[in-house]
Amino acid sequence: MEHLTRETLARLVSEAPDARERRHLSECADCRSELEALQGQTRALGRLPNLRPPLGDWTILEARLASEGL
């Protein structure tokens, strides 16, 4: 049995699988596990705070970036 590609698994994080993909996921623990990991990562990234630089205060932003080595 050929595994689903990373691209397919990434697409399935936000889209429903077609019949062939659904059948494969029901039979393949490796692909099912990989899809669950990708879904978990996506949820974790979605929970990150929305960081925005201070408006109009480039001096503070520049100093912060420099302190972080950027």
**pLDDT tens-place values along the chain, 70 residues long:** 799 999 999 999 999 999 999 999 999 999 999 999 999 999 999 999 988 766 777 888 888 899 998 8
The number of residues in the chain equals 70
Query: Do 24 and 18 meet the contact criterion of CB atoms below 8 Å apart?
Result: no
Query: Do 34 and 5 meet the contact criterion of CB atoms below 8 Å apart?
Result: no
Q: What is the pLDDT, as a whole number, of residue 54?
A: 65
Q: Residue 30 and residue 20: Cα distance in Å, rounded?
A: 16
| pTM greater than 0.95 (yes/no) | no
3-state secondary structure of 42: helix
Q: What is the pLDDT, as a whole number, of residue 49?
A: 92
Radius of gyration, CA atoms only, the chain: 20
